[in-house]
Amino acid sequence: MPPTLREVYKRLKPKDFEIFSAALIIAQKEGHRFLEHCGQSGDQGVDTKLLNRFGNIVIVQSKLYASTNRVGQPELRDFFGSTYHHKSVYGYFVTTSTFTRAARQFIYANGSRIRVIDGPQIEMLLQKKRQNIALALRDIYQQISVAKA
């Protein structure tokens, strides 16, 4: 497991980052559980699906972006639409970069349906929730391998 954001860039391929993003959310101990990995081209804005503590669908979009490639409002607007398309109660947009000012305004206006984790938050979670993230990753990979069998 990467110990820092810098190592996330070095070690993780996009598919691995999608799984890692789900683990970041689960590691926060708010009752989320892994449901499925669905990231690929044509995924309609969803890389993984989780269930919240009430059994409702939560979607996750993951972007392994360079720090200079900030997420803009159009990407969040599309993701917002995906929350309705997938009948999720809300979604997480996870990126290794940050969000533009317009994107942050969109997040603020639609905060009940969009939650975000950016590069600085990933760095903080790696420092404070490292063990929880590692356990969540292990559990997700076990669940994926069982599903493939």
- Token pair recorded at residue 104: 């942050």
pTM: 0.94
User: Tokens 């980052």 identify what position?
Assistant: 17
The whole domain housing 12 covers 5-144
34 occurs within a structural domain:
yes
134 occurs within a structural domain:
yes
- Positive or negative, the CA dihedral 27, 38, 49, 108 is positive
Phi/psi for 96 (5° steps) reads: -80, -10
Q: Which amino acid is at 62?
A: S
39 occurs within a structural domain:
yes
16 occurs within a structural domain:
yes
Give the end-to-end CA distance of the chain in Å, rounded to a whole number: 24
16-65, pLDDT tens digit by residue? 999 999 999 999 999 999 999 986 655 567 999 999 999 999 999 999 99
149 occurs within a structural domain:
no
CATH code, domain carrying 136: 3.40.1350.10
Q: Could you give the number of structural domains in the chain? A: 1
27 occurs within a structural domain:
yes
35 occurs within a structural domain:
yes
User: Could you tell me the pLDDT band of residue 149, with boundaries at 50, 70 and 90?
Assistant: low
67 occurs within a structural domain:
yes
